[in-house]
């Protein structure tokens, strides 16, 4: 397994400290704070480790309370709220420096059969016809501030391939819709928790930025303050995060210094496996 993916799996392999208490490390991806997808994925792992029966997560609802400190580990406290006949509910609080930085409510469900329907997958080019986003970023490395260049251009554990790439420095105004393919860069273990955690990690990537597209503002622009407020993730069907998945994103609304984005994740065969929703702070800074 390649080093970047091995490093991601190590991040998700939390250290048990006590019953229902775990500790996780951080990885810098150039945001200046802990990546929200990392905290979401680690909290999911902590919650699932306290579920003693074969049930997988179907619903995650997380609130980002404070920015995460990259220099400090994160401690996850899990409350076992309920274990019913078919559902288990867990609440996870992520702590740094004695304060809560993130809160997650997660629900796990035993596998059952039921009615089936889904929306169709958009018609987009296959990933083989698209360029890896990391290659695009490395091609404009001279435009990246030197203090960020090494981190932003480092190898990634996930291959993202946007259908219509966006200039991250001078984006043009466009409709608030994005499509990108993604998959882990190497084969993952068969554990369903690993695949759910990796996809939860990836689901935070670029989602809030979709709300900026109609305004032609770069996510790193000094004219705005950008921060995720909450993130919801629903797993509908089994999937593998090491096989190509299409992540469709759109932003139906922004207002009141907040932007709302949502996403649907499909397998290559068109099966809808997960849905995502997120609201974030988009505050215009005064000159």
Cα–Cα distances in Å, from 40 out to 24, 77, 84, 224?
12, 13, 24, 24
Question: What would the DSSP string read from start to end of 73-140?
Answer: -EEEEEEEEEE-SSEEEEEEEEEETTEEEEEEEEEEE---------PPPP----GGGS--HHHHHHTT
CA-based nearest residue to 59, from 33, 89, 32, 36: 89
**Cβ neighbours of residue 229 closer than 8 Å, sequence gap 6 or more:** 63, 64, 258, 279, 280, 281
CA-based nearest residue to 249, from 231, 271, 219, 276: 276
Token pair for 49: 């480790």
- The answer to whether the beta carbons of residues 186 and 242 sit under 8 Å apart is yes
- Residues carrying an active site annotation: 204, 228, 278
């Amino acid at each position: 397994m390649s080093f970047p993916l091995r490093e991601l799996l190590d991040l998700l392999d939390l250290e048990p400290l006590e019953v229902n208490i775990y500790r996780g490390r951080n990885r810098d991806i150039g945001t200046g704070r802990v990546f929200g997808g990392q905290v979401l994925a680690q909290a999911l792992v902590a919650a699932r480790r306290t579920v003693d029966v074969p049930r997988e997560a179907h619903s995650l609802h997380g609130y980002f309370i404070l920015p995460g400190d990259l220099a400090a580990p994160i401690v996850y406290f899990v409350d076992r709220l309920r274990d019913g006949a078919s559902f288990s509910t867990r609440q996870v609080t992520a702590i740094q420096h004695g304060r809560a930085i993130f809160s997650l409510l997660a629900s796990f469900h035993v596998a059952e059969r039921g009615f089936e329907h889904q929306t169709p997958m958009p018609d987009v080019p296959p990933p083989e016809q698209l360029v890896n986003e990391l290659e695009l970023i490395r091609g404009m490395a001279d435009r990246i501030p030197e203090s960020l260049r090494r981190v932003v251009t480092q190898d990634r554990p996930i291959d993202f391939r946007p259908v219509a790439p966006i200039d991250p420095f001078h984006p043009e105004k466009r409709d608030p819709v994005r499509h990108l393919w993604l998959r882990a860069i190497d084969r993952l273990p068969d554990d369903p928790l690993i695949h759910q955690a990796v996809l939860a990690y990836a689901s935070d990537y670029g989602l809030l930025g979709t709300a900026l597209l109609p305004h032609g503002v770069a996510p790193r622009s000094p004219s705005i303050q950008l921060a995720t407020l909450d993130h919801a993730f629903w797993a509908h069907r089994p999937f593998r995060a090491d096989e190509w998945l299409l992540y469709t994103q759109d932003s139906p609304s922004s207002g009141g210094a907040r932007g709302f984005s949502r996403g649907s994740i499909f397998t290559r065969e068109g099966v809808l496996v997960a849905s995502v929703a997120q609201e974030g702070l988009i505050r215009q800074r005064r000159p």
